[in-house]
Amino acid sequence: MLLITNKTFSLPLLAAAFALLFTACDDSSTGPETGEEESQIETHTVEDLDTGYGGRMTPNDTLYYSLRENSIVDKSDSVSTQWDLAFSGTTIYTNSEASGPGDGGAIVLGQTFDATTIAPSEGYAIDTTATNLAITTGSDNGWYHYTGQKGTPPHTIVPLENTTLIVRTADGKHYAKLRIISWYKGNPDLSSDEFANNSDNYPSGNYTFEYAIQLNGTRTFTEE
Amino acid sequence: MMKVIQRAFLISICMLTTLTAYAQQSYSLEGVVTNKKGQPLENAQLTLQEPDLHTVTDQTGAFAFSSLRSGSYTLTISHVGYQSLHRSVDIDYSSRDSLTFQLAIKRYESPSVVVTATRSSRDIEEVPEPVTVISDKQIKASGNTRLSEILAEQTGLTLTSDHGTGIQVQGFSSDYTKIMIDGQPLIGRTAGTLNLDRISVGNVQQVEMIKGPSSALWGSDALAGVINIITEKGQRPFELGINSRYATNKTLDLGLNLSTRKNNWQQNFYFNRNSSGGYRLRPNSISQTVPSYHNYTTSYQTSFPLFQAVEIEFQGRYYREEQSSRDYLGDAENPTLLDSDALQEDYSLAPTINFELGTHTTAKLSHYFSRYRTDSRYQYRQGDSLYEHTQFDQYYNKSELQLNHNWSVNHISSLGSGYKHEQLKAQRYAGDPAFNSYFIFAQHEWIPTGRWDIIGGLRYDGHSEYAAQLSPKFSARYKLFEWLHLRGSAGSGFKAPDFRQLFLNFTNPTVGYSVFGSSTVRDRVQELQERGQINEILIPLDQLNEIKAEHSWAYNVGIDLYPTDNLELRINLFHNDVSDLIESAPIATKNNGQSIYSYFNLEDVYTRGIETQLRWEPNRQIELSAGYQLLDARRKIEGTRTVQNGQGEVVEKTYSSFKPMFNRSKHTANLKLYYFWEALDVDANIRGTWHGPYGRTDANGNTYVDSNEYEDGYMIWDTNLAKTFRDRYTLRMGIDNILDFTRPSDLSYLPGRIFYARISLQLY
């Protein structure tokens, strides 16, 4: 069950935002760096985005997601710029070079979500090969820590604290900051005995994350 | 001619007369042996030296030695259930009276002689090192049978569960404490843990423990400390004791001690069988938390003088454990069941020759051989085919010579040297790796006045596979007053890289990553490179440094207070700086997207704290002891972080700080109360240990403990009651873990509440 909640914006506001977005996209004469546009920040929390991982040993499904639309993109549109991020197991692809036709990219910042008030102007990494990704894979390399056999709880994917992903959208024009909250369905408390004893109730490969996206073409994540 | 014969005759007469007179000058020693209440003790053993003369007391406690020459003798009186008495007696004209000797009943008194601090027998109040001693009386009173259970009750020690029960000392994990039996190291560690459940304490005279690095004397692994188990040596001509203990979880322990002693020929034999039905902490789990097992321990020790000034000693030990358990593959809902049989075996042989080279010098030449092997099989329950079969076989040989020389009363030196050869046969290790090492150590003790005792020591360890180690140590004790002693020491310790870190040659068959030991990684990576399997080399092979041993420097400062005869307070402050801890890290990536890992000296750690120990015997009935440890164990966390500058642009920032480590309680404490009712021969005790909150779950993956990652503290209380009949038969009944505390997630060695009964019979 995919649940998309909208924390700060009501539906009419969201619609207005989209309208503005299209205007902004159409009007290419307006430079993205002028900073005079009215801020159009959307903040969303996406819960239990199921990548179809389900505890299987090899990730065999990929889920495409549009941060701009805050919605899942159908797999048939995987070769398009509709999606910004794709999730497969613990791997997150950006819509760039080896992964898609877009101008996406990402930076993994070692700072908190709240402290991130602006997206950097440069330094974005892209997916150059199937294994060399903008959001680097592996424990402690990108967004998560894997506790391993000796960990408590063992064999668990724990999102790294003080880690914020800056994502450039597939159109190369917008920036989002993103924090992954959980990789387990229902966002369980990973330190609880409940999770340790009944891990089957919390299937893995279910992303819960929050993100803020600036749709006015600037890089700021502040309202003013 | 006649004159000559006459003279010869006269001389002969004279001589005869003298001889007769001499023969008439023989003496006897008579007396009575009683207990402190004045009741006579029958069958007390008396030995008079030199030469060796034996006798026993009769029903009235009386004894007599006759036909003695005048002179000084040493008299030893021993009796089952009583403390042995040593007296020197002068036999001459004046000693005609009958003597009365009173023996005191054995109580929980602390023993006074230790060997681990200086590699020679010394009084515990003299050595500058902070030594902890657990006596056989304490061990027997605790009702416990394995070393792990005994150590769990000691101040500052915490048990850990990782491939066996290990011990954490001053915040160091169990890899860093050296475990020895009679000064010889036990081998056979799994994932760094030497399983302390392997060691039976049924034949232990005392357990000596030094906290803090002791590599200056004992070499590798003595980084957090040394635990030396001193086995019992019989005191009487013939001793035979048996004991058995039955406890919850079908746990049965049977032991037999046999010792003989005659004309300085001494033999000690010990046999133990220990078995358990195992237990489950999670009632519905497929596998038992601790599987059922049975094990055997046999040991034999003998010593005898070969010539005057040459003594031969031999020790042998054999241990074998078989364990069967059930395991599964897949998920617990629909498991594929496996049956597992695991065998563990270790044995050791240690011949020693002790020489007395003149009055000031002794020498000890010894060899130690030990082998540890495991063999485990996993079998599919259905179809009975083999799933996995692993074997591990480790050999250890050590030859050593130690010289002790007393220059004078104030100067004592020790010098030693030795050679070690270790070999391994196991899967995951290419071609039976072996390594050689040699060592030389020197120690000098200077006692300038009755108040000072100063010891300096140095040890050099050379090795075929890693950088040589130099381990110094300096310690001093100062008696400010009779009741206040100050102690201080500084020294270093090291732990050699183990077989795994040096020689591992492992490629995961399903995932495809590889781990190579530091001695093999160069060749293996080159090999893979030639075969075109390497994608990228992260650390150029010519830049690989030789691996170093993990190394520490430690400082201890302490005060010992003896305000009254029955009160003792010891306070010790410690600080350990540890560098070059070995961790695995990627060295290259393969074409399959996986990494190749090897071992590097990466981590820095420090642990520091205060340990206090109080002992109080307000009267002959009560003994109270209390201990507390404050511990701060931190690991260096460093790296670079991608952050933003004031303009929002990306910059790399390095960070480095020391952060708290997991599984370490900041506060631990224990309390023991012993009660001894002499009139009824009843004793009872209650013992408690408390562990404060400790970091357990790394919920956010930052590898250190955050304030919300602490697990609650816990308390364990044990108690028992014993009645002794006729000073030699003891029935003890008790409860361990009265509060029935368990924590399946990380304290798997705690089985919950245990009831037990133990019978000890001292037959001779």
pLDDT digits (tens, 9 = 90+) for B706-736: 888 888 999 999 999 999 998 889 999 999 9
Which CATH number fits the domain that encloses residue B57? Answer: 2.60.40.10
In this structure, the answer to whether residues B221 and B285 fall within a common structural domain is: no
Query: Which stretch of B54-63, B81-90, B419-428 has the lowest confidence by average pLDDT?
Result: B81-90
pLDDT of residue B35: 83
Domain range for residue B333? 228-762
- Percent of chain B whose predicted confidence (pLDDT) is above 90: 44
pLDDT at residue A9 tops 70: no
In this structure, the answer to whether residues B120 and B63 fall within a common structural domain is: no
CB contact under 8 A, A121 and B649: yes
Region label for B530, one of left (φ > 0), alpha (ψ between -120 and 50) or beta (otherwise): alpha
Boundary residue ending a domain (B183, B198, B227): B227
pLDDT at residue A12 tops 70: no
Nearest CB among B162, B282, B643 relative to A110 is that of B643
pLDDT interval class at A25 (50, 70, 90): very low
Q: What's the rounded Cα separation, in Å, for the pair B43 and B61?
A: 8
Residue A65, H or E segment = strand A63-66
Q: Which carries the bigger pLDDT value, residue B19 or residue B557?
A: B557
Amino acid at B30: E
Q: What's the rounded Cα separation, in Å, for the pair A40 and A213?
A: 8
Residue at A219 is within a domain: no
pLDDT of residue B163: 81
Boundary residue ending a domain (B48, B80, B103): B103
Q: What's the rounded Cα separation, in Å, for the pair A178 and A90?
A: 15
CB of B526 within 8 Å of any CB in chain A?
no
Residue at A98 is within a domain: yes
pLDDT of residue A1: 40
Distances (CA, A) of A187 to A93, A190, A195, B176, B237: 22, 8, 10, 38, 71
Query: Which stretch of A119-133, B92-106, B143-157, B675-689 has the lowest confidence by average pLDDT?
Result: B92-106
DSSP strands (E only) in B118-222 = 122-123, 131-135, 157-161, 165-169, 177-181, 184-185, 204-211
- Of B45-49, B279-283, B369-373, B650-654, which has the strongest mean pLDDT? B369-373
Which CATH number fits the domain that encloses residue B739? Answer: 2.40.170.20
pLDDT of residue A113: 94
Residue in B closest to A161 by C-alpha: B700
In this structure, the answer to whether residues B182 and B255 fall within a common structural domain is: no
Domain range for residue A210? 3-214
Residue at A155 is within a domain: yes
Residue at A220 is within a domain: no
pLDDT interval class at B504 (50, 70, 90): confident
CB contact under 8 A, B698 and A152: yes
Residues of A in contact with B649 (CB under 8 A): 120-123
Residue at A91 is within a domain: yes
Residue at A186 is within a domain: yes
Cis peptide before B693 (omega within 30 of 0): no
In this structure, the answer to whether residues B528 and B673 fall within a common structural domain is: yes
Q: Which carries the bigger pLDDT value, residue B169 or residue B708?
A: B169
Q: Which of B362, B370, B435, B437 is nearest to B180 (CA)?
A: B370
Distances (CA, A) of B320 to B351, B373, B708: 22, 10, 44
pLDDT digits (tens, 9 = 90+) for B104-122: 766 545 556 778 778 877 7
pLDDT at residue B360 tops 70: yes
Q: Which carries the bigger pLDDT value, residue A59 or residue B737?
A: B737
pLDDT at residue A81 tops 80: yes
Region label for B15, one of left (φ > 0), alpha (ψ between -120 and 50) or beta (otherwise): alpha
Residues of A in contact with B595 (CB under 8 A): 138
Q: Would you list the DSSP string of B595-648? A: EEEEEEEEEEEEEEEEEEEEEE-SSSSEEEEEEEEEEEEEEEEEEEEEEE-TTS
pLDDT of residue A151: 67
pLDDT digits (tens, 9 = 90+) for B569-598: 999 999 999 988 888 888 888 887 778 888
What lies within 8 Å, CB to CB, of A94 at 6+ separation is A84, A85, A100, A102, A104, A105, A106, A126, A127, A133, A134, A135, A167, A168
pLDDT digits (tens, 9 = 90+) for B421-434: 999 988 778 778 88
pLDDT of residue B7: 60
Nearest CB among B593, B642, B698 relative to A147 is that of B698
Residue showing tokens 């009679």: B182
Residue at A35 is within a domain: yes
pLDDT interval class at A143 (50, 70, 90): very high
In this structure, the answer to whether residues B236 and B220 fall within a common structural domain is: no
In this structure, the answer to whether residues B88 and B172 fall within a common structural domain is: no
CB of A111 within 8 Å of any CB in chain B?
yes
pLDDT interval class at B15 (50, 70, 90): very low
Q: Which three-class secondary structure state does DSSP give residue B4?
A: helix
CB of B641 within 8 Å of any CB in chain A?
yes
pLDDT digits (tens, 9 = 90+) for B511-541: 678 889 888 888 889 999 898 888 878 888 8
Residue in A closest to B648 by C-alpha: A120
Q: What's the rounded Cα separation, in Å, for the pair A41 and B456?
A: 70
CB contact under 8 A, A152 and B649: no
CB of A183 within 8 Å of any CB in chain B?
no
In this structure, the answer to whether residues B265 and B275 fall within a common structural domain is: yes
pLDDT of residue B95: 56
Residue at A222 is within a domain: no
Span B742-746, average pLDDT: 86
The domain total for chain B is 3
In this structure, the answer to whether residues B267 and B124 fall within a common structural domain is: no
Boundary residue ending a domain (B103, B134, B167): B103
pLDDT of residue B223: 86
Residue in A closest to B655 by C-alpha: A110
pLDDT interval class at B602 (50, 70, 90): confident
Phi, psi of B378 (to 5 degrees): -115, 125
Environment class of residue A142 by beta-carbon count within 10 Å: exposed (0-12), middle (13-18) or buried (19+)? buried
Amino acid at B628: Y
pLDDT digits (tens, 9 = 90+) for B678-689: 889 899 999 999
The domain total for chain A is 1
- Of A35-49, A146-160, B116-130, B647-661, which has the strongest mean pLDDT? B647-661
> Nearest-5° angle of CA A53, CA A79, CA A92?
35
Q: What's the rounded Cα separation, in Å, for the pair B144 and B720?
A: 11
Q: Which carries the bigger pLDDT value, residue B8 or residue A177?
A: A177
CB of B698 within 8 Å of any CB in chain A?
yes
* B410's tokens: 């104030």
Residue showing tokens 């038969």: B729
In this structure, the answer to whether residues B134 and B35 fall within a common structural domain is: no
CB of A219 within 8 Å of any CB in chain B?
yes
pLDDT of residue A112: 93
Q: What's the rounded Cα separation, in Å, for the pair B685 and B710?
A: 32
pLDDT at residue A57 tops 60: no
pLDDT digits (tens, 9 = 90+) for B224-280: 889 999 999 887 889 999 999 999 999 999 999 999 988 889 999 999 999 999 999
In this structure, the answer to whether residues B208 and B158 fall within a common structural domain is: yes
CB of A200 within 8 Å of any CB in chain B?
yes
In this structure, the answer to whether residues B168 and B292 fall within a common structural domain is: no
CB of B644 within 8 Å of any CB in chain A?
yes
CB of B425 within 8 Å of any CB in chain A?
no
In this structure, the answer to whether residues B503 and B516 fall within a common structural domain is: yes
* A98's tokens: 């080896």
Residue in B closest to A194 by C-alpha: B745
pLDDT of residue B23: 47
Span B173-185, average pLDDT: 92
Q: What's the rounded Cα separation, in Å, for the pair A8 and B263?
A: 94
C-beta atoms surrounding B112 within 10 Å: 12
Q: Where are the alpha helices (DSSP H) in B435-555?
A: 499-503, 521-530
Mean pLDDT of chain B: 87
pLDDT of residue A18: 45
Which CATH number fits the domain that encloses residue B121? Answer: 2.170.130.10
> Nearest-5° angle of CA B263, CA B399, CA B365?
35
Residue at B4 is within a domain: no
3-state percent breakdown (helix, strand, coil) of chain B, nearest 5 = 10, 60, 30
Q: How far is CA B578 from the centre of its chain?
A: 22
CB of B333 within 8 Å of any CB in chain A?
yes
Residue at B675 is within a domain: yes
CA distance A16 to chain B (A): 29
